[in-house]
């Protein structure tokens, strides 16, 4: 397979920095947008307790307590709601052994018997992250009420690998163009970025295994069919993956509000675009691995963009530069 050169000769204005050069650090452009919260109070009729009998009132109070508990435990996040659930020790073990794509396994904290050891062993063998949670959270997640202390979230789509992405680029006669996402947790953002990746001709999307959204049903829907054409790979460590890809001739640009204006950078050739998590942006360790930091010009009063919007703007700048290089 062809390896791409990394020299800077002849790049002139906006040339890529030499390895080990200083990288500007600061707030990241790919963070979740701020504001937008509705401050108005809901209007409507208030009904007194006298309108309900004792049984109805008791059910309403129980439901209210369940919702409050779920919110506190973080169990109502979108990924957990729309993932396909596999419950029970044997069911989870067999799903792992069959090669089923599992995003995450939840185990009741404190359980450590033989069956649980088998679950953990199979999870480790297949690189599936495990989280230990309390019984209340598992009960709220369970759809059968018979989870036996183990619940697995299965992916709606199978994951691909980085080799497939390089092969896709080679088949098209193009330099690799990958989009790497640092802990994107919102499934709507992930789906929208995968859709954008397909439209701009990126050869794949790379996400971390832990602390990030997987390929849930919401992601599939938000991608508008792009998952059928754009491979998505999961990696254990994003920083290590960047280092490995550098050895194959790739350069990496990180979205950063304090970076160089994107139009002044050379983003042609084999390139990886790194977009950060909602609210936190690209982590420091990942940012340090990048060769360049790119800022999106802004003229208004708001100084942040949604992660998927920032990804779209920078991806189209890369596409513009690649197209211009072909015509030159």
Q: How far apart are CA 207 and CA 198, in angstroms?
A: 16
Q: Encode pLDDT of 162-192 as tens digits.
A: 999 999 999 999 999 999 999 899 999 999 9
Q: Superfamily assignment of 77-154 in CATH?
A: Ribosomal protein L30/S12 (3.30.1330.30)
Joined tokens for residue 324: 């211009």
- Pairing mode, if any, of strands 102-108 and 130-133? parallel
**CATH number, domain 162-327:** 3.40.1280.10
Which ranges in the chain are annotated with CATH 3.40.1280.10?
Answer: 162-327
Using only C-alpha atoms, what is the Rg of the chain?
23
Express each pLDDT in 59-82 by its tens digit.
455 555 554 444 444 434 444 555
Residue ranges of the chain that CATH labels 3.30.1330.30: 77-154
pLDDT score for 73: 42
Which comes out higher in pLDDT, residue 121 or 52?
121
**Short-list 165, 254, 241, CA closest to 205:** 165
User: 39 pLDDT band (50/70/90 cuts)?
Assistant: very low
Asked if pLDDT for residue 234 goes beyond 90, the answer is yes
DSSP assignment, residue 18? P
**Taking Cα atoms as reference points, which of 85, 76, 32, 67 lies closest to residue 216?**
85
Res 52: pLDDT? 41
With beta carbons less than 8 A apart as the criterion, state whether 5 and 16 touch.
Answer: no
Q: pLDDT above 90 covers what percent of the chain?
A: 54
pLDDT tens sequence across 185-226: 999 999 999 999 999 999 999 999 888 888 988 898 899 989
Q: Which of 12-16, 47-51, 141-145, 261-265 has the lowest mean pLDDT?
A: 47-51
């Amino acid at each position: 397979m062809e390896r791409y050169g990394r020299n800077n000769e002849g790049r002139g204005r906006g040339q890529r920095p030499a390895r080990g050069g200083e990288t500007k650090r600061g707030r990241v452009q790919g963070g979740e947008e701020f504001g937008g919260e509705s401050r108005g109070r809901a209007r409507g009729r208030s009904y007194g307790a006298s309108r309900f009998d004792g049984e109805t009132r008791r059910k309403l109070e129980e439901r209210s307590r369940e919702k409050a508990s779920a919110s506190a435990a973080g169990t109502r996040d979108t990924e957990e709601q729309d993932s396909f659930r596999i419950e029970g020790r044997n069911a989870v073990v067999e799903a792992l052994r069959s090669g089923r794509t599992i995003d995450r396994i939840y185990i009741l904290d404190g359980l450590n018997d033989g069956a649980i050891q088998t679950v953990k062993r199979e999870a480790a063998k297949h690189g599936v992250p495990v989280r230990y949670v309390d019984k209340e959270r598992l009960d709220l997640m369970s759809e059968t009420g018979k989870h036996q202390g183990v619940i697995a979230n299965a992916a709606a789509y199978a994951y691909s690998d980085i080799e497939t992405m390089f092969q896709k680029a080679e088949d098209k006669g193009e330099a690799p163009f990958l989009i790497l996402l640092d802990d994107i947790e919102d499934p709507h953002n992930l789906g929208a970025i995968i859709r954008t990746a397909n439209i701009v001709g990126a050869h794949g999307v790379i996400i971390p295994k832990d602390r990030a959204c997987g390929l849930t049903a919401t992601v599939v829907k938000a991608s508008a069919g792009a998952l059928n054409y754009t491979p998505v790979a999961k990696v254990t460590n994003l920083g290590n993956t960047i280092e490995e890809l550098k050895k194959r001739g790739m350069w990496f640009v990180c979205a950063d509000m304090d970076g160089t204006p994107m139009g002044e950078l050379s983003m042609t050739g084999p390139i990886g675009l790194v977009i950060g998590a909602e609210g936190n942006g690209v982590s420091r360790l990942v940012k340090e691995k990048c060769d360049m930091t790119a800022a999106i010009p802004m003229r208004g009063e708001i100084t942040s963009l949604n992660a998927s919007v920032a990804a779209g703007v920078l991806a189209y700048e890369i596409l513009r530069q690649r197209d211009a290089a072909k015509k030159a």
